[in-house]
Amino acid sequence: MGVHNGVVKAGVLGEVDAESTAESLALYWGQLLKQFRESAGLSAAELGRAINYSPAAMSLFENARRIMPMETARTCDALLKTGGQLAGLLPYVLSADLPPEFKDYVRHERRANQILAFEPQVVSGLFQTEAYAEAVFRAARLDNVEQSLANRMNRQEILRGDDPPYIWVIMEEHVLDKLVGGRDVMRAQIERLLLEAENPRIVIQFIPKTVGAHAGLDGPLTILSFPEGPDIVYADGHASGRLILAARAVAACSRTYDLLRSTAVSPEQSIAMLKAKLEELTP
């Protein structure tokens, strides 16, 4: 792999495969950023000022100690005239450190045209703000908070594509009662949910706290549908998740989701719940 006159030599993405480690990919990406920057005649401080990062943060990016957000990578591509290579390579860097099952899930999620998700404990990852997600990861005492955070934010790119999927998310009402990250973070998170709920492609529902046993007590699940081919399911677990491909098991999960929809309050009532909680958190 190499760079010549600010252009990556042919075949770089062909060398990014399953055998590449997360560390080696991140190191390569950081060196690529540095070489593009130097080819443009910019110091780390100058590029940092242009993208609102300190020289110290630029050093972390270039030495693979921190993962750059996708939007910032796109800005760097534009400033350094790379032809989109930094942002194009970043998903490989981000996914290299994922568990195999979840890596497969993310790949399927990117091509889905419909996503049905149930999340009983926290706000669905596709709708989490960066501050909320960081609070979740820090509470879990993860060794790689920056990597996990960049991965989660990168997954949300599917919401902003030219043809985003239809998304239906059901959560338990008590998710709104948890002050994840504190009052300010939770207030901003609820504002984000209200904004997403205005999207005609997105439906958000809550199962009220007054409901006892319901069909989702086994835990989180996500059903992915595609323009062609059968649905698949991802069932999340404490240590790891699993993809469910067998037709009979997928059908059972679909029935579970139908029961959850019937248990949850209407989308309109769910928006009212969000507004009430937002008012409660607003000084």
249-267 pLDDT tens trace: 999 999 999 999 999 999 9
C-alpha distances out from residue 146 to 119, 150, 238, 251, 277, Å: 23, 6, 20, 37, 29
Q: What is the pLDDT of residue 22?
A: 61
* Residue 63 and residue 50 share a domain: yes
For residue range 104-161, what is the model confidence (pLDDT) as tens digits?
A: 788 889 899 999 999 999 999 999 999 999 999 999 888 778 878 888 888 898 998 7
What's the gap between Cα 20 and its chain centre? Answer: 22
Residue 7 has pLDDT above 70, yes or no: no
Residue 172 has a pLDDT of: 96
Please state the φ and ψ torsions of residue 123, each to the nearest 5 degrees.
-60, 140
145 and 166 part of one domain: yes
65: domain CATH number?
1.10.260.40
Gap between the Cα atoms of 95 and 1, Å rounded: 19
Of the two residues 239 and 171, the one the predictor is more confident about is 171
Nearest CA to 147 among 77, 85, 74, 90? 90
Domain count, the chain: 2
* Residue 91: per-residue pLDDT: 78
242 and 144 both lie in a single domain? yes
Domain that holds residue 44: 3-95
pLDDT confidence tier of residue 94, bands split at 50, 70 and 90: confident
CB atoms closer than 10 angstroms to residue 103: 13
**What mean pLDDT do residues 71-98 have?**
86
Same domain, 14 and 107: no
Q: Tell me: do 135 and 186 sit in the same domain.
A: yes
Q: Which residues pair with 166 in a beta bridge?
A: 114
Quick one: pLDDT at residue 34?
93
Q: How high is the pLDDT of residue 70?
A: 83
From 95, 125, 143, the end of a domain falls on 95
Residues 126 and 33 in one domain: no
Q: Are residues 89 and 105 in the same domain?
A: no
Instruction: Please indicate, yes or no, whether residues 41 and 120 belong to a single structural domain of this protein.
Output: no
Interacting residues of 202 by C-beta distance below 8 A, sequence separation 6+: 166, 167, 168, 169, 196
Domain boundary among 95, 130, 149: 95
- What band does 16 get if pLDDT is binned at 50, 70 and 90? very low
Instruction: Tell me the pTM.
Output: 0.73
More confident residue, 279 or 150: 279
Report the chain's mean pLDDT, rounded to a whole number.
87
